[in-house]
Amino acid sequence: MIDIDKTFVTSDCHFREWTHFGGLLCESSKSQEEEHIALWNSVVGKDDTVLYAGDFSDGRIADLEEICRRLNGRIVLIKGNHDQMDDSIYRMAFADVVDRMYIDELKLLLVHDPETAMLRLGERMIYGHYHRGMVEPPPTTRDSICVCAKWHRWKPIMLAKAIRMMEAK
Would you state the pLDDT for residue 29? 65
What confidence tens digit (pLDDT) does each residue in 76-117 have?
A: 999 999 898 999 999 999 999 999 999 999 999 999 999 999
What confidence tens digit (pLDDT) does each residue in 47-58 have?
A: 999 999 999 986
Would you state the pLDDT for residue 63? 84
Taking the C-alpha atoms of 136, 13, 58 and 81 in order, what is their torsion angle to the nearest 10 degrees? -50
The closest of 68, 124, 70, 116 to 96, measured between CA atoms, is: 68
* Band of pLDDT at residue 19, cut at 50, 70 and 90: low
Would you state the pLDDT for residue 161? 98
Q: What is the H or E stretch that residue 98 is in?
A: strand 96-98
Among left, alpha and beta (phi > 0; psi -120 to 50; other), residue 107 is: left
Q: 7-167 — its CATH code?
A: 3.60.21.10
